[in-house]
Amino acid sequence: MSREVHTLAPDEFLDEVHSFEFWFHSIQGYLADAEYGHRPGTPESELPPDRRERLITVLCNYCIGETAALDGASGLIGFAPNRQAKIFLATQVVDEARHLEVLIHRLAELGVKDPEAEIQRRATRSLQAFRRRLLELVAGKDWEAGIFAQNVILEAMEFAAFQTHARNADPITRELLEGIIKDERRHMGFGENDLGRRLSATPHVRARLQQIKRELDPLVLETFEEMLAELDVPREERPELGRNYLETVERLGFTS
């Protein structure tokens, strides 16, 4: 029987969860038997043409988000402030690459002949703009802004969108999204906790991040709206989906 996890010392806990070893044994639990993100025996559904088209549009935009996260996480490693953050981000890079791969594979399963071209054709303006701004922040080696944009804002948006989508998706897409959501918990948690520690130590950083939040919020909301419309989520349920993001930024002390 293992030791009670909650008796670990704080430093012991952080060392444990930021290790490659922890990541490896975590993903084995839910990916060991999967092929391209889903169980091999999961049946393919016959989707009506309109629903299939809209699913392709949504998956193409998920690919944009995951590509942004892949580029962002790999860029952040170079100027991460410590070993724990570098190792964690290395595991995140692998996660994001896997997400991109399984989403592209799903597009091919849905009959998309040239997924790369289709992704560019169907990408929304707001998500493309978000991606460009995120990569500018990373290129500027701004750790707090990069982590905020990527691991707090982008990850919280993806977490909410994927959870909503998974509830109403066909079985293969659902399994694929559920696997991604499990990875996203780590990414989101890393972002909030790293930034929370930094803001506690250097509260003056908050004003700069508040400005970035003001700049990115409209793009996040527009992306949400576009995706949720494609997913047929009723308008009255949409504010609920942004709640996770709002709760996260409130915990970090940001205002709307």
Partner 1 sequence: MNDTVLREAENESGKPRQRFILEDTGFNEVPKKYRRFYRRQTGPGDTLAPNEVICPVCKVVIRSTRELREGDRVYCMPCMSRLVVVRTDSGHLEAHVVY
Query: Which residue of 29, 40, 41, 49 would you call a contact of partner 1, by CB under 8 A?
Result: 29
Q: In terms of CB distance, is 68 or 188 closer to partner 1?
A: 188
**Residue range at the interface with partner 1 (CB under 8 A); choices 65-73, 91-99, 104-112, 247-255:** 247-255
Burial (Cβ within 10 Å: 0-12, 13-18, ≥19) of residue 128: middle
- Residue 26, beta-bridge partner list: none
**Residue range at the interface with partner 1 (CB under 8 A); choices 39-47, 96-104, 123-131, 245-253:** 245-253
25 lies in the site for partner 1, by CB under 8 A: yes
CA-to-CA separations, 174 to 23, 54, 103, 178, in angstroms, rounded: 22, 15, 12, 6
8 lies in the site for partner 1, by CB under 8 A: yes
186 lies in the site for partner 1, by CB under 8 A: yes
Residue 9 one-letter amino acid: A
C-beta of 140: minimal distance to partner 1 in Å?
A: 24
Provide the CA 76 distance to its chain's centre, in angstroms. 15
C-alpha 102/C-alpha 173 separation (Å) is: 10
Alpha-carbon dihedral sign for residues 13, 18, 24, 28:
positive
Query: Which residue of 55, 85, 248, 249 would you call a contact of partner 1, by CB under 8 A?
Result: 248
Binders of partner 1 in range 143-182 (CB under 8 A)? 182
Residues touching partner 1, count (CB under 8 A): 31
Q: In terms of CB distance, is 193 or 211 closer to partner 1?
A: 193
Question: For the window 188-207, what string marks contact with partner 1 as x by the rule CB under 8 A?
Answer: xxx-xx--xx-xx-------
Would you say 155 and 188 are in contact if contact means Cβ atoms under 8 Å apart? yes
Would you say 227 and 58 are in contact if contact means Cβ atoms under 8 Å apart? yes
Would you say 196 and 115 are in contact if contact means Cβ atoms under 8 Å apart? no
Phi and psi (nearest 5°) for 35?
-125, 120
49 lies in the site for partner 1, by CB under 8 A: no
243 lies in the site for partner 1, by CB under 8 A: no
Q: Give 3's DSSP letter.
A: P
C-beta of 193: minimal distance to partner 1 in Å?
A: 6
Query: Which residue of 18, 131, 165, 213 would you call a contact of partner 1, by CB under 8 A?
Result: 18
Nearest CA among 94, 82, 103, 68 for reference residue 175: 103
Query: Which residue of 6, 113, 204, 235 would you call a contact of partner 1, by CB under 8 A?
Result: 6
Residues that bind partner 1 in the complex, under the rule CB under 8 A: 2, 4-6, 8, 10, 13-14, 16-18, 22, 25-26, 29-30, 182, 185-186, 188-190, 192-193, 196-197, 199-200, 247-248, 251
